[in-house]
């Protein structure tokens, strides 16, 4: 019953967990595949960077929190299952965007293009605005559908 009673708390916690998994996984994968780091080096470098730049980490978290808010508001009105569909769709979009951004950053670092590498990650919250708009449209579409699968 906790999902129905507290959708905002549940979806915000899910958003933080997906953010941690996405950023950690994308960065470590990019550092090991492109940057030629070992797994331990990549994990240490990601943890060190996340702790050293708390404002940047908070900015990277923001799109996931907005996705959690969209999903929780839908779950509160139309049910947890619909909110979860929107959340998973958005998490997939954001996860792909974060993976490609971290991958591009490592490619730029290898080519000694320092500014491009920094901006690949630094501008990521702003690059997610169109993706969040797509999620908002998808949320509207899911909210308009009836329970039997037919449009409202």
Is pLDDT of 137 > 70? yes
What residue segments make up the domains of the chain, in order of their start? 2-144
Q: How confident is the model at residue 5 (pLDDT cuts 50, 70, 90)?
A: confident
DSSP letters spanning the chain:
-HHHH-HHHHHHHHHHHHHHHHHHHHHHHHHHHTS---HHHHHHHHHHHHHH-HHHHHHHHHHHHHHHHHHHHHHHHH-HHHHHHHHHHHHHHHHHHHHHHHHHHHHHHHTT-HHHHHHHHHTHHHHTHHHHHHHHHHHHHHHHB-TTSSB-
pLDDT at 10 over 90: yes
For the chain, the average pLDDT equals 92
pLDDT digits (tens, 9 = 90+) for 60-102: 999 999 999 999 999 999 999 999 999 999 999 999 999 999 9
Confidence category of residue 3, pLDDT binned at 50, 70, 90: low
Confidence of residue 29 (pLDDT cuts 50, 70, 90): very high
Q: Which pLDDT tens digit goes with each residue over 103-135? A: 999 999 999 999 999 999 999 999 999 999 999
């Amino acid at each position: 019953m906790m999902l129905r009673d507290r959708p905002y708390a549940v979806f915000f916690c899910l958003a933080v967990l997906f953010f941690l998994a996405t950023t950690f996984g994308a960065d470590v994968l990019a550092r090991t595949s492109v940057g030629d780091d070992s797994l331990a080096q990549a994990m240490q470098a990601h943890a060190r960077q996340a702790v050293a730049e708390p404002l940047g980490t908070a900015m990277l978290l923001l799109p996931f929190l907005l996705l959690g808010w969209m999903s929780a508001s839908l779950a509160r009105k139309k049910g947890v299952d619909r909110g979860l569909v929107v959340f998973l769709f958005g998490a997939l979009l954001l996860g792909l965007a974060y993976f490609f951004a971290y991958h591009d950053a490592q490619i730029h670092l290898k080519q000694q293009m320092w500014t491009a590498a920094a901006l690949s990650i630094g501008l990521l919250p702003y690059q997610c605005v169109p993706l969040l708009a797509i999620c908002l449209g998808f949320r509207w579409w899911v909210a308009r559908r009836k329970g039997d699968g037919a449009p409202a």
